[in-house]
Amino acid sequence: MKLTAIVVDDEFKVREVFLEMLDKLCPDIKVLAWADNITDAYNLIITQKPEVVFLDIEMPGGTGFDLLSKFEKVPFETIFVSSYGHYAIRALKLSALDYILKPVTADDLILVYSKLTETLQLKQNALKYELLKINLTNSEQEKKLVIPDKKNLEYVNTSEIMYLKGEGNYTTIYLKNTRKFFVAKTLKDYEGMLCEDQAPFFRIHKAFIVNINYIKTVDRGDETSILLKDDTRLEVSRRKKTILLERLNSV
């Protein structure tokens, strides 16, 4: 399981050794950046959006806990890195939070990586079950689609999906806010998920599924195409043309 991380530690030699150990012992952890103070660490987290932060407790400009307090909901896993006997160790134990004692050993890092992947997997499964409840009980407008994006699971409201474009074993999902996701699933996979009788999704072509709520106009010439509300033009296959028009007329 690949993970992205930021290292926050103000001790230069300690930080350099730690970074080297991560590189050698945990190749699946990609360190995006490092910081030696709370302000820089906060800015890096906001811009880089790491999945894990290795956080020293005592830092210039405040403690690691001060950094965490800047977030209403902490959007990453935290591994505290502290010296032996620090006053906060007992609090970390009581709170079931992970920490590593300096000097860090190879066994420490390997154990931490194992625990991280287990924790993140549990969170992803919890999200899937929560979305299952939503999709079983909510209206079509409120249903959500889980999208495996790089190393994370993201979810979007299906009502925000404008169209999907298939490219062999991959599909690009285009949202109304200009975001898009490139996913290792076929368009046929998504046809089975989205194109149900009551759903607004319709496969108009071997390469396209469209949310009919975003169709602005239909060109009814020999070469049928549709224009979406964002002025994207998509081709409609001849055999789908009549069915699409019937579908639009019934809305």
Query: Which regions of the chain are under pLDDT 70?
Result: 90, 94-96, 149-152, 222, 251
Q: Which one-letter amino acid corresponds to residue 150?
A: K
pLDDT of residue 123: 80
Closest CA to 56 of 38, 37, 82: 82
pLDDT of residue 137: 76
How many C-beta atoms lie closer than 10 Å to residue 69's C-beta? 11
pLDDT of residue 149: 65
pLDDT of residue 139: 77
| Total structural domains within the chain | 2
Structural domain includes residue 133? no
- Both 145 and 100 in one domain: the answer is no
The token pair at 217 is 């106009």
Structural domain includes residue 134? no
Segment 234-250, tens digit of pLDDT: 999 988 888 888 888 87
- Both 83 and 114 in one domain: the answer is yes
Structural domain includes residue 129? no
d(CA 100, CA 125): 26
- Both 115 and 160 in one domain: the answer is no
pLDDT of residue 41: 95
Closest CA to 154 of 117, 182, 133, 190: 182
Give 152's Cβ-side CA count (13 Å radius).
Answer: 12
pLDDT of residue 150: 60
Give the domain extent around 168. 140-250
For residue 115, give the 3-state DSSP assignment: helix
Handedness of CA 134, 185, 114, 68 (dihedral sign): negative
